[in-house]
Amino acid sequence: MTVFDDLVGQDQATAVLTRAAAAAGEVIGGGRGAGMTHAWLFTGPPGSGREEAARAFTAALLCPDAGCGHCDQCHQVLIGSHPDLESVRPEGLSYSVKQTRELILRAAGAPTQGRWRVILFEDADRATESAANALLKAIEEPPPRTVWLLCAPAPDDLMVTIRSRCRQVTLTTPATEAVAHVLATSDSVPPDLARFAARAAQGHISRARALALDEGARTRREAVLGIPRTLTGVGECVAAAERLVKTAEEEAAAATAALNDNETSELRRIYGEGSTGKGLNRGLVRGGAGALKELEDRQKSRATRIKRDSLDSALLELVSYYRDVLAMQFGAAVELANDDLRFDLDQLAKASTPEETLRRIDAIMQCRERLAANVNPQIAVEAMMLALRP
């Protein structure tokens, strides 16, 4: 068993990372370490396991046995408690230059237990332009024992000057059979349900696990994929858009409510609200109001991101639906992601042309672009729904 065993369908990437982890010991010992470098870029489609691969590589770098999977070093990395691992995941819509500079300062420290200090930067594509420039400077002149692991969907999502200084590891979409096997063996999911979830998620491991284990996720999927047959008029399109946006808002609120309350209470406590004693008062001390405003801004950005991610997930479900329709129209011998809805797919395939299906897919992708550009979600989704109707 090694830390790479849980990477689903990534044999080529695993081989590269295994060789590099072994070479890392040569670097420490004064050898050439030809397979090791100070900056890595993990890319791959959503759900391919970019972060999981980077975390497994971290364990292999810090483990005395190149990632055995059962020692204390491996265990601490995999649960996120290793002192030499700095794991960063932007919570809001972007990662600022201020946050990046603070991260660079922390990255300059020497390792305390392992051979390396590892900075695992998830969603590195969310760094602002100024943040990316600051990050470039850190990657160009890294401390001798610091390793940067950047994760992004595609190389083009990062500045060319950054990706040119990183060794790239490309992950692919796992096969349905591989994902279903993981669900059945690791999560004790019944085989039929495991295959359904793997097929519906199109290789997205986290999404497949949610569909297999959470009935609510399956219900939400059914609601989204039921939208096309309801779009019979303008009123129905507007209503469908309103439901979709409202559902995303509710999911964002549910995901952030408790967290926001805890963060706000903790910040107020730090700044002395409610404290008693000489020189203290029950209000926020100097500087507390500004810190509270900054926290509220971050919380709003996080809620907006969760809402946008929820909408994007729904839009990708619709893309898979029309992609299946297009496959049926062309008679392509491919696996249908939504095979459980074959009757609906067949009806729409017979009632429309491939050109109309492509136009609908384009409308969904345009909606995704508009949402990424901060267009009002209700307006963007309504325009899409109108373009999807027969």
Q: Cβ neighbours of residue 24 under 8 Å, at least 6 residues apart?
A: 33, 36, 60, 61, 66, 115, 116
| Domain assignment of residue 228, yes or no | no
Contact 174, 205 (CB under 8 A): yes
Contact 146, 174 (CB under 8 A): no
Residues 27 and 109 in one domain: yes
What is the domain count for the chain? 3
| Domain assignment of residue 226, yes or no | no
Residue 347 DSSP class:
H
What is the rounded average pLDDT for all residues in the chain? 87
| Domain assignment of residue 351, yes or no | yes
Cα 16 from Cα 12, distance rounded (Å) = 7
Residues 164 and 183 in one domain: no
Question: Which is nearest to 295 in space by CA: 271, 263, 249?
Answer: 263
Q: 23: domain range? A: 10-170
SS3 assignment, position 150 = strand
Confidence of residue 273 (pLDDT cuts 50, 70, 90): low
Residues 318 and 206 in one domain: no
Per the structure block, which two tokens stand in for 176?
A: 């349905």
| Domain assignment of residue 337, yes or no | yes
Residues 154 and 207 in one domain: no
Cα 369 from Cα 19, distance rounded (Å) = 39
Residues 358 and 247 in one domain: yes
**pLDDT at residue 60 is higher than 60:** yes
Residue with tokens 């900056």: 39
Q: At what angle do helices 377-388 and 234-270 cross, to 10 degrees?
A: 150
Residues 139 and 260 in one domain: no
Per the structure block, which two tokens stand in for 35?
A: 């397979």
Cα 285 from Cα 266, distance rounded (Å) = 14
**pLDDT at residue 231 is higher than 60:** yes
User: Who has greater pLDDT, 278 or 322?
Assistant: 322
pLDDT the model gives residue 363: 97
SS3 assignment, position 43 = strand
Largest interatomic CA distance in the chain: 80
Residues 310 and 361 in one domain: yes
Cα 174 from Cα 120, distance rounded (Å) = 23
List the beta strands (DSSP E) in 254-326: none
Confidence of residue 27 (pLDDT cuts 50, 70, 90): low
Cα 66 from Cα 61, distance rounded (Å) = 6
Cα 13 from Cα 77, distance rounded (Å) = 19
Residues 311 and 199 in one domain: no
Cα 273 from Cα 289, distance rounded (Å) = 11
**pLDDT at residue 136 is higher than 90:** yes
Per the structure block, which two tokens stand in for 60?
A: 């292999």
Residues 289 and 358 in one domain: yes
pLDDT the model gives residue 29: 42
Residues 149 and 16 in one domain: yes
Residues 120 and 58 in one domain: yes
pLDDT in tens, 197-211: 999 998 888 899 999
Question: Which is nearest to 138 in space by CA: 169, 94, 111, 100?
Answer: 100
| Domain assignment of residue 359, yes or no | yes
Contact 122, 305 (CB under 8 A): no
Residues 150 and 192 in one domain: no
Confidence of residue 193 (pLDDT cuts 50, 70, 90): very high
Among the ranges given (156-160, 295-299, 334-338), the one the predictor scored with the smallest mean pLDDT = 295-299
pLDDT the model gives residue 298: 79
SS3 assignment, position 251 = helix
Among the ranges given (129-133, 150-154, 283-287, 374-378), the one the predictor scored with the smallest mean pLDDT = 283-287
| Domain assignment of residue 4, yes or no | no
